[in-house]
Amino acid sequence: MLTCDQALSLLSAAREESGRLGVPMSFAVMDAGGHLVALARMDGAPWISTEVAQGKAWTAAAYGMPSAGQKAKMDSLPNFSTALSAMTDGRFTPQPGAVPVYADGQLVGALGASGGTGQQDEDVCSAAVQACGYATSAG
């Protein structure tokens, strides 16, 4: 289980990393069931970035893998990707920018970002997860 305090620590680490890049972003922390635990939008981040960060984090939590992995899978399946998005009320977001959060080999949630490039978003999330003592994979 990912506590509110742990989620806030992830947000703080992500904000710090994003600040180093000089790219304002929004961040969302989901629990392993895809429920929002914490959300933050840095000053200057696009208003839509909060929604995008949540979708990316939901996708990483749902599959227990970085959201970029779903993009790679869905590139050749655009109709299926659209159907999944519709079935999940728009939460399925197969774009780079979120990573799962593992503690002791167990999926406890996901951290998603939006505001930079997909790669910048994912790199910030990975750095934040590691800085807080978690892993982005089970092994």
Can you give the residue ranges of every domain in the chain?
4-131
**How would you write the pLDDT of the chain (139 residues) with one tens digit per residue?**
899 999 999 999 999 999 999 999 999 999 999 999 999 999 999 999 999 999 999 999 999 999 999 989 999 999 999 999 999 999 999 999 999 999 999 999 999 999 999 999 999 999 999 999 999 999 8
What pLDDT, on the 0 to 100 scale, is given for residue 139?
82
DSSP assignment string, 46-89: -TTHHHHHHHHHHHHHHHTS-HHHHHHHHTT-HHHHHHHHHHTT
pLDDT score at 86: 95
Pick the closest to residue 67 from 78, 80, 58 (CA basis): 58
Q: What are residue 77's phi and psi, to 5 degrees?
A: -130, 60
Domain spanning 4-131: CATH superfamily: Haem-degrading domain (3.30.450.150)
